[in-house]
Every structure is written in C-alpha cells, then in structure tokens.
Amino acid sequence: MSFLRNCWYAAAWDEEAPAEGSFNRRILNEDILFARDGSGEVRAIRNRCSHRFSPLSLGTRTGDIIECPYHGLRFDLTGRCVLNPHGNQQIPSNSHIKAYPVVARHMLIWIWMGDPEKADPDMIPELLGLDPEKYSINKGYMYTPANYEYMTDNIMDLGHIDYLHKGLLGSEAINRAEVDVKQAGNVVHSNRLARNEILPTALEAVFQSGGKPCDRWLDVSWHPPANMVLVVGVTEAGAPERIGRTNPGAHLMTPETDTTTHYFWSNSRDFRRDDHELHAMMDQGFELAFEHQDKPMIIAQRDAIGGEDFWDLHPVILEGDAGAIRARRILRKLIRDEQAAKS
C-alpha cells in the first residue's frame, strides 16, 4: 500500500519530545529521530546512520551533535554529517541523512513526509480546542495494530457508538439521528444530530442535563489523509445549538506502517474547567471507550479481513457510512494523483 506524502502527519504530542536527548517513532515505514535543538525547536531526521545503518537513537548526543554508536560518524540535527573520525577524515557527500520539515502547532509536532519544498504549514488542519489557556483538555495517544483507514471509518461513522459504547457514549437516539454529509474541497463533513435523547451516563456527568431530553450533535470534519475534528455538543431538546455546551476534539491517525497506526486524540471543554474529579472520570471514560472497546473491535475486524483489500470485499454501505466512504475515495484519488505527478 502507498501513502499520501505531501501532507502533514501528527507525529507526537509536543510534550513527548524531551528537552534533551531524543525519541524515535516510525511513520510511513520510516524510523525517525526527533530531538530539540539548543533553541528548543524540534528537529526530525532519519533514525538510520548512512554508513551501516545503525539507529542513531542508540548513539550519544552532545549539544546538537549525535555520534553514531557503531563507528562514530557524527551528525547534526539537520542530518548533516559533521565528522568522520576515520582515515583522511573526509566527509563523503552521500553521508548526510534525510531531514524532515516539522512544525509545532496545536500542542502537537507535525511532520511532512513528502517533498520538503512543498511543505506549507498553512496546510496543517485547523484543530479546535487545543489551547490550554481556554480549555481543560483530556488527550492521549493510542498505538493500534491495524490500518489507519479503518480507524478513520470508526470516527467518520459514529453509528457504532450505541453498540460498541452502549450506555457510555451511545443511546438509541444515535440510530435515528439525522446524518448530513458534505464535501468542501478535499474536506468531508459528516454531521449527526440526535434529537430528544436521554443522555447516557458518561455524557450526563459532563453535560448535566438533569435527565431531561436533549439534542446532541456530533460533527466530524475529515482532512486528508486521516485528521479529524469532532465537535460534540448538547442543548436541551429544541433549544438552539448556540446556547449549548460543546466538547471540541481531535482524532488524528498517523500510519506507522500499512498495518499499524499512531492515534492521537483530544477532548476539550471550556466549562467546569477546574473540576478535577470530572476530568479524571473523563480520562477513565475515554480509556474505556478507545482502549477497551474501539481498539479490540478494530483488531478483530483486521483479523476478519485478513489482509484483503477493503474494496475487493464489496462492503455493504449504510446511510451513516457516506462520510467515511467519501473520505476513502478522496484519499485514494490524492494518492493516485501524487504518484502520477512523480512518474
């Protein structure tokens, strides 16, 4: 399988990059070393020495220089080889290592996996709620041994929540919700409005409707290749949306390989910001939903599919799938166009 390369992928939460040292993560099958330079900016280079391919993450860092642990070539954080301790000490021109454009934005580190000349930070999607000045933020990272497009389906079609997350995030009102799918350029909006819902327990604890019927909207925007904004909002049934409370969040899927995914998620609230008990309860709720309900299902789905192509299986398409299917088609076209432009 091939990936879209000329786009930004979420590589890590900003706090994952240590002030000193480095960490490494495989993205689109490439092992990448992330390190902050002397000014605190995150840099990304291939985690593979150009000599005999030792991982530089095993090396020694002194200032902004990393020494390969195998034969001692030294590299700076832009990937330039700056020292060859052997023989005539000349630095071969092919000894430099690939560097990747990175940008810190929305509390995340974003990486550009394609042509560096085309890396435009304005192409990073506008996420909502990732501002600690204005919101209390629950967020996390979940490694999932499954293909990222199935994880996109999971968010784009929230019709699963009354089954997989019954009583926690879902209710029967989700099944009869109005679904509205729109496309704007390459962005797909998959919006769901559930009317007259008695909120399930976890949501009642957050939104405090007092057990009264509510309208709940779950609006997802998908940005290629697999970055989604999800806004969940609640009002008393029939009341205008603008007077409701909302939880904006991000669901960002970054392929590690064809069959494994880095999943970064967030959920923000600008109400009851100092309610630490609520915050801890929400953390537990998300852990239960994502780690113990979504993830096992996505792994079971992976095993049932057994490596066959999604389209070759002629999947049944239900009304709520329209957004997910649109996203898959757009992504496929973007990858095809990108590859055609290269050849």
Nearer to ligand FES, 66 or 202 (CB): 66
DSSP string, 284-322: HHHIIIIIIIIHHHHHHHHHHHTT--TGGG-----GGGH
CA-based torsion, 4, 8, 11, 13: positive or negative: negative
Nearer to ligand FES, 55 or 213 (CB): 55
Nearer to Fe ion, 79 or 248 (CB): 248
CA 46/CA 100 separation, integer angstroms: 8
Residues 285-314 that bind Fe ion (CB under 5 A): 294
Binding at 294: pick from ligand FES, Fe ion, none (beta carbon under 5-8 Å per type): Fe ion
Nearer to ligand FES, 21 or 92 (CB): 92
CB of 70 to ligand FES, least distance (A): 4
Nearer to Fe ion, 142 or 193 (CB): 142
Encoding tokens for residue 189?
């909006």
Q: Residues touching Fe ion: how many (CB under 5 A)?
A: 1
Encoding tokens for residue 298?
């996505």
Nearer to Fe ion, 46 or 160 (CB): 160
Binding at 52: pick from ligand FES, Fe ion, none (beta carbon under 5-8 Å per type): ligand FES
Instruction: Name the residue among 155, 251, 288, 272 with its Cα closest to residue 207.
Output: 272
Binding at 162: pick from Fe ion, ligand FES, none (beta carbon under 5-8 Å per type): none
Binding at 81: pick from ligand FES, Fe ion, none (beta carbon under 5-8 Å per type): none
Binding at 70: pick from Fe ion, ligand FES, none (beta carbon under 5-8 Å per type): ligand FES
CB of 57 to ligand FES, least distance (A): 12
CB of 119 to ligand FES, least distance (A): 27
The answer to whether residues 244 and 235 touch, using CB atoms and an 8 Å cutoff, is yes
CA distances from 65 to 19, 32, 73, 84 (A): 15, 16, 10, 13
| Sheet with strand 23-27: strands edge to edge | 23-27, 30-36, 42-46, 99-100
Nearer to ligand FES, 70 or 271 (CB): 70
Instruction: Name the residue among 153, 205, 223 with its Cα closest to residue 8.
Output: 223
Encoding tokens for residue 132?
């600690």
Binding at 71: pick from Fe ion, ligand FES, none (beta carbon under 5-8 Å per type): ligand FES
Binding at 5: pick from ligand FES, Fe ion, none (beta carbon under 5-8 Å per type): none
Binding residues for ligand FES, per CB under 6 A?
Answer: 49, 51-52, 54, 68, 70-73
Instruction: Name the residue among 43, 44, 16 with its Cα closest to residue 28.
Output: 44
CB of 49 to ligand FES, least distance (A): 3
CA 262/CA 26 separation, integer angstroms: 9
Residues that bind Fe ion (CB under 5 A): 294
